[in-house]
């Protein structure tokens, strides 16, 4: 029952179109199974004539084939023997050729699911709200999109389709053998199935445990790898390479051991069953010889076709049974993977999707109003923001300051539209921001985070991030780079100019240069409001001063919101919001707060 539920979940991962295509592939395999039976049956006349040429006259079936062959120029028994052999070979060749074609179709079908399921899964993740990612590790998500989908296709989906295909073949051959000799067919097939069933029951729980170990250890492999390369500078400085390597090695060993044990347990029956099948052929041969009067009874002509067909059928059946067994164990082993993918792919999509906007819906003319906004993170017992209320006029430069945990980042994420207030609302002019017009509001924003994440592409592509390469406005790129005061460095110091590759995470650029590229990126779409999230906190004083000079030049052109930890960053702001414990403690100009607020004054010192 559990395997059936897992199988049902596997097919639920496929789209309707993929299910229909899969049904066509199954139909091709049904025809293949019939062709396999025909190829097995074609051996019988050849072996019958080989064992007893007199059957040409005494056997109705062989006699009919002999009469038909006369019209094709066959005149003697020897010619007929060659004719039957060639015919049998052609049938087997046809079956093999068709099998190769079906195998190609099946492989393409299963491998393309790697592409489609990965894309759908990544799309599901991208459609989630920002809060979804707050408690999900990026390494875990990468593992699911890449490694678990790989395991689904190679370790579960492909064996499952192969199992279905070979089930048709096995049943067709068994049916044919029952027609030839019901007693031997049922006993042989029953024993083989019983042996595989007993073995599966014995290892079932172990296979399931291995599957859970594989998912857990694979997740931690990706997390540890992600931590290594995202912290490589610290690791090299602290000389703690061995510690991180050991952390990865532990989970890598568990993952590899799980795969190795599963493969061994799945393939072991093949050798056991082959040995038993060979012994079974000997037993059948002895029983048939005895039933026909002994070895001196000249019964070879009767026995050879039957034994030959069963040997050839066993040659075709045993691999099918092994593939069926592998499919069943793969479903059991992959249960945890399927459950994980099914959970993520079938997550509720209500009110989720890519945020779009109407370019005429919102215009930032009057200002932004934050109205009694409160927010508590999922699972938290204390609110990060409580009834925060203030307004930002068009053209103002607003500073938001406070100690760590004061609620600065939460407030900024709400203004950015990444988090939705539990109470209160945002209002632009006379329009409340909601899920419908949120995209239009975000279109008006430019955002410069504390850490500028640069992709391994050109400077121009990093500034115009998200814009297809062929649609990048080069003149606009140059203009915003000039406004961010990075243009001269790009032109004078980089031989390839804006076509220079920045390197992974922008490692070829200093912190100040990365911040300037981040400012240029935020300006590319001509925002009405420019937001800085502690954008200079990681810079030294001189570099911060240069970056702030670039920011201050923009203050006459647009509305600025600057979140900072250092008060020197917001000293020139028109108004400063001082947060404490998720609430507005006080607000005013720098000079007003420095004289009236002891806690604010202590931060300045």
pLDDT, average across residues 559-575: 85
Cβ-Cβ contacts under 8 Å for 300 (sequence gap 6 or more)? 51, 52
Q: Is residue 376 part of a domain?
A: no
Q: Is residue 520 part of a domain?
A: yes
Which helix (H) or strand (E) covers residue 200, if one does?
helix 182-230
| pLDDT-based confidence at residue 486 (cuts at 50, 70, 90) | confident
Q: Which pLDDT score, from 0 to 100, does residue 465 have? A: 87
Q: Which pLDDT score, from 0 to 100, does residue 41 have? A: 67
What's the longest Cα–Cα distance across the chain?
121
Separation CA 44–CA 181 (nearest Å): 13
- Do 51 and 170 sit in the same domain of this protein? yes
Q: Which pLDDT score, from 0 to 100, does residue 166 have? A: 79
- Do 81 and 145 sit in the same domain of this protein? yes
Closest C-alpha to 120, from 9, 23, 14, 19: 14
Please state which of the ranges 159-173, 181-195, 261-275 shows the lowest mean pLDDT: 181-195
Q: Is residue 219 part of a domain?
A: yes
Q: Is residue 107 part of a domain?
A: yes
Q: Which residue range forms the structural domain that includes residue 26? A: 2-345
Q: Which pLDDT score, from 0 to 100, does residue 372 have? A: 93
Q: Is residue 354 part of a domain?
A: no
Q: Is the pLDDT of residue 292 over 80?
A: no
pLDDT, average across residues 273-300: 67
- Do 157 and 290 sit in the same domain of this protein? yes
- Do 306 and 400 sit in the same domain of this protein? no
- Do 340 and 482 sit in the same domain of this protein? no
Task: Give the predicted TM-score (pTM) of the model.
Answer: 0.70
Strands in 529-533's sheet, in edge-to-edge order, are: 445-448, 529-533, 559-563, 397-401, 575-580, 583-588
| pLDDT-based confidence at residue 371 (cuts at 50, 70, 90) | very high
Q: Is the pLDDT of residue 173 over 80?
A: no
Q: Which pLDDT score, from 0 to 100, does residue 160 have? A: 83
Estimate the share of the chain in helix, then strand, then coil, as percent rounded to the nearest 5. Answer: 65, 10, 25
SS3 category, 398: strand
SS3 category, 467: coil
> What is the tally of structural domains in the chain?
2
DSSP line for 420-437: --SEEEEEETTEE--TTT
Q: Which pLDDT score, from 0 to 100, does residue 502 have? A: 80
Q: Are 219 and 252 in contact (CB under 8 A)?
A: no
Structure-model confidence comparison of residues 599 and 354, the more confident one: 599
Query: What percentage of the chain reaches a pLDDT higher than 90?
Result: 8
- Do 19 and 103 sit in the same domain of this protein? yes
| pLDDT-based confidence at residue 455 (cuts at 50, 70, 90) | confident
- Do 323 and 459 sit in the same domain of this protein? no
Cβ-Cβ contacts under 8 Å for 488 (sequence gap 6 or more)? none
Residue 501 phi/psi, 5° resolution?
A: -75, 135
Separation CA 166–CA 330 (nearest Å): 15
Please state which of the ranges 162-176, 366-380, 388-402, 470-484 shows the lowest mean pLDDT: 162-176
pLDDT, average across residues 326-334: 84
Structure tokens at 282: 């000997």
Q: Is the pLDDT of residue 446 over 60?
A: yes
Q: Which pLDDT score, from 0 to 100, does residue 351 have? A: 46
The CB-based long-range contact list for 80-86 (8 Å cut-off, 24+ gap) reads: 80/49, 80/56, 81/46, 81/49, 81/50, 81/53, 84/45, 84/46, 84/49, 85/46
State how far the alpha carbon of 600 is from the alpha carbons of 33, 337, 400, 412, in Å: 81, 53, 12, 20
Q: Are 18 and 154 in contact (CB under 8 A)?
A: no
Q: Is residue 481 part of a domain?
A: yes
Q: What is the pLDDT of residues 509-540, one digit of tens each?
A: 777 888 888 889 988 988 889 998 887 765 66
Which helix (H) or strand (E) covers residue 372, if one does?
strand 367-375
Q: What is the pLDDT of residues 219-264, one digit of tens each?
A: 888 888 877 776 776 677 567 788 788 888 888 888 888 888 888 8
| pLDDT-based confidence at residue 577 (cuts at 50, 70, 90) | very high
Q: What is the pLDDT of residues 205-224, one digit of tens each?
A: 888 888 888 888 888 888 88
- Do 450 and 543 sit in the same domain of this protein? yes
Residue 56: CATH number of its domain: 1.20.1560.10
Residue 582: CATH number of its domain: 3.40.50.300
| pLDDT-based confidence at residue 184 (cuts at 50, 70, 90) | low
Q: Is the pLDDT of residue 358 over 80?
A: no
Q: Which pLDDT score, from 0 to 100, does residue 79 have? A: 74
- Do 400 and 301 sit in the same domain of this protein? no
Q: Is the pLDDT of residue 436 over 90?
A: no
Closest C-alpha to 415, from 449, 369, 376: 369
Please state which of the ranges 49-53, 293-297, 574-578, 584-588 shows the lowest mean pLDDT: 293-297
Cite the beta strand spans of 6-132 per DSSP E: none
Q: Which pLDDT score, from 0 to 100, does residue 599 have? A: 82
Q: What is the pLDDT of residues 375-418, one digit of tens each?
A: 998 888 888 999 999 999 988 989 999 888 888 889 999 999 88
Q: Which pLDDT score, from 0 to 100, does residue 7 have? A: 78
Q: Is the pLDDT of residue 59 over 60?
A: yes
Tokens 């099914």 correspond to 342
Q: Which of residues 327, 345, 363 is at a domain's end?
A: 345
Q: Looking at mean pLDDT, say which of 30-44, 52-66, 465-479 comes out highest.
A: 465-479
- Do 324 and 457 sit in the same domain of this protein? no
Q: Which of residues 305, 329, 345 is at a domain's end?
A: 345
The mean pLDDT value of the chain amounts to: 80
Q: Is residue 517 part of a domain?
A: yes
pLDDT, average across residues 425-439: 88
Q: Is the pLDDT of residue 427 over 60?
A: yes
Tokens 């203050």 correspond to 555
Please state which of the ranges 4-8, 41-45, 226-230, 468-472 shows the lowest mean pLDDT: 41-45
Q: Is residue 414 part of a domain?
A: no
Q: Are 80 and 69 in contact (CB under 8 A)?
A: yes
Q: Is the pLDDT of residue 422 over 60?
A: yes
- Do 50 and 169 sit in the same domain of this protein? yes
Structure-model confidence comparison of residues 375 and 541, the more confident one: 375
Separation CA 150–CA 142 (nearest Å): 12
Closest C-alpha to 255, from 223, 229, 226: 223
Structure-model confidence comparison of residues 200 and 83, the more confident one: 200
Q: Strand 397-401 and strand 559-563: pairing?
A: parallel
Q: Which pLDDT score, from 0 to 100, does residue 390 have? A: 92
Tokens 């209500």 correspond to 350
Separation CA 44–CA 51 (nearest Å): 10
DSSP line for 113-124: HHHHHHHHHHHH
- Do 132 and 230 sit in the same domain of this protein? yes
Q: Are 450 and 533 in contact (CB under 8 A)?
A: yes
């Amino acid at each position: 029952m559990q395997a059936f539920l897992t199988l049902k979940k596997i097919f639920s991962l496929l789209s309707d179109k993929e299910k229909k295509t899969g049904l066509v592939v199954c139909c091709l395999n049904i025809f293949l199974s019939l062709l396999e039976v025909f190829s097995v049956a074609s051996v019988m006349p050849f072996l019958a004539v080989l064992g007893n040429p007199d059957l040409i006259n005494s056997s109705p079936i062989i006699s009919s084939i002999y009469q038909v062959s006369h019209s094709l120029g066959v005149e003697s028994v020897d010619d007929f023997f060659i004719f039957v052999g060639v015919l049998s070979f052609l049938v087997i060749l046809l079956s093999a050729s068709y099998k190769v074609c079906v195998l190609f179709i099946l492989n393409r079908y299963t491998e393309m699911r790697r592409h489609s399921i990965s894309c759908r899964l990544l799309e599901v993740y991208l459609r989630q709200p920002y809060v979804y990612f707050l408690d999900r590790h990026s390494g875990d998500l990468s593992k699911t999109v890449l490694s678990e989908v790989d395991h689904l296709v190679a370790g579960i989906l492909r064996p499952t389709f192969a199992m279905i295909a070979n089930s048709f073949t096995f049943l067709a051959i068994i049916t044919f053998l029952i027609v030839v000799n019901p007693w031997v067919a049922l006993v042989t097939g029953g024993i083989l199935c019983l042996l595989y069933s007993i073995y599966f029951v014995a290892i079932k729980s172990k296979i399931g445990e291995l599957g859970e170990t594989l998912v857990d250890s694979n997740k931690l492999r990706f997390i540890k790898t992600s931590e290594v390369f995202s912290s490589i500078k610290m690791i090299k400085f602290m000389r703690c390479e061995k510690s991180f390597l050991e952390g990865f090695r532990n989970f890598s060993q568990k993952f590899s051991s799980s795969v190795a044990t599963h493969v061994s347990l799945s393939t072991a029956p093949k050798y056991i069953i082959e040995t038993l099948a060979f012994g079974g052929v000997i037993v059948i041969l002895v029983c048939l010889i005895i039933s026909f009067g002994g070895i001196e009874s000249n019964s070879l002509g009767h026995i050879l076709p039957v034994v030959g067909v069963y040997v050839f059928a066993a040659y075709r059946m045993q691999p099918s049974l092994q593939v069926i067994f592998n499919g069943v164990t793969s479903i059991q082993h992959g249960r945890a993977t399927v459950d994980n993918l099914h959970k993520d792919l079938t997550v509720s999509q209500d009110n989720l999707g890519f945020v779009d906007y109407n370019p005429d819906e919102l215009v930032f003319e009057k200002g932004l109003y934050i109205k009694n906004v409160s927010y508590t993170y999922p699972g938290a017992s204390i609110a990060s923001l409580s009834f925060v209320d203030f307004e930002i006029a068009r053209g103002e430069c607003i500073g938001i300051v406070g100690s760590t945990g004061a609620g600065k980042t939460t407030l900024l994420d709400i203004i950015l539209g990444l988090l939705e207030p539990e109470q209160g609302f945002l209002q632009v002019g006379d329009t409340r921001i909601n899920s419908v017009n949120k995209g239009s509001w975000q279109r008006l924003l430019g955002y410069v985070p504390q850490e500028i994440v640069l992709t391994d592409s050109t400077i121009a592509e990093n500034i115009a991030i998200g814009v297809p390469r062929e649609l990048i406005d080069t003149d606009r790129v140059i203009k915003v780079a000039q406004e961010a005061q990075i243009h001269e460095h790009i032109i004078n110091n980089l031989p390839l100019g804006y076509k220079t590759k920045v390197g992974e995470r922008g490692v070829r650029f200093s912190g100040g240069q990365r911040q300037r590229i981040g400012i240029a990126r935020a300006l590319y779409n001509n925002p009405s409001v420019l937001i800085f999230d502690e954008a200079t906190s990681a810079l030294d004083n001189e570099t911060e001063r240069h970056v702030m000079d670039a920011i201050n030049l923009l203050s006459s052109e647009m509305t600025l919101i600057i979140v900072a930890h250092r008060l020197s960053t917001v000293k020139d702001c028109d108004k400063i919001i001082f947060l404490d414990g998720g609430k507005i403690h006080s607000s005013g100009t720098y000079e007003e707060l420095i004289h009236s607020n002891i806690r604010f004054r202590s931060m300045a010192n």
